[in-house]
Amino acid sequence: MARARKRHAQQARNQGELRVQLVPFFPDYRDANPHLFPSVASARWHLTLYRKRYIKAGALVKVNRQLLVDPPKFETELRAIGAEDAAKAATAGA
């Protein structure tokens, strides 16, 4: 009985750690971050290029044809993509 209570308490703690704040990409996230994507077209193009990468990183989820974003993960991945693109541009120009 004590083991069952202990296991239940551990599961409750784990569930609390798994909570994530997902927001719809269109229009909520994009409208809140116009400095990242100045137009809807630029946001759509970026997602066309990198959607699989964001999904693999857990930053983007598709639910019922709606894209949901985990903002901290998305921004981390966006920075990584930007750094990689900048490094490619620097080596291509040198």
Residue 44 to residue 36: CA distance in whole angstroms = 12
Per-residue pLDDT, 92: 84
Question: Six-digit token pair at 5?
Answer: 């209570």
In sequence order, what are the residues at sequence separation of 6 or more whose Cβ sits closer than 8 angstroms to the Cβ of residue 68?
A: 22, 23, 24, 25, 60, 61, 62
Tens place of pLDDT per residue across the chain (94 aa)? 566 555 655 665 555 555 678 999 999 999 999 999 999 999 999 999 999 999 999 999 999 989 999 999 999 999 999 999 999 999 987 6
Let me know if residue 74 belongs to a domain: yes
Please check whether residue 54 is in contact with residue 77, taking contact to mean a CB–CB distance below 8 angstroms. Answer: yes
Let me know if residue 62 belongs to a domain: yes
Let me know if residue 13 belongs to a domain: no
Let me know if residue 37 belongs to a domain: yes
Split into its structural domains, the chain has a count of 1
Let me know if residue 65 belongs to a domain: yes
Per-residue pLDDT, 94: 61
Per-residue pLDDT, 24: 94
Let me know if residue 87 belongs to a domain: yes
Let me know if residue 45 belongs to a domain: yes
Domain residues for 78? 21-93
Per-residue pLDDT, 6: 58
Please check whether residue 25 is in contact with residue 68, taking contact to mean a CB–CB distance below 8 angstroms. Answer: yes
Per-residue pLDDT, 20: 72
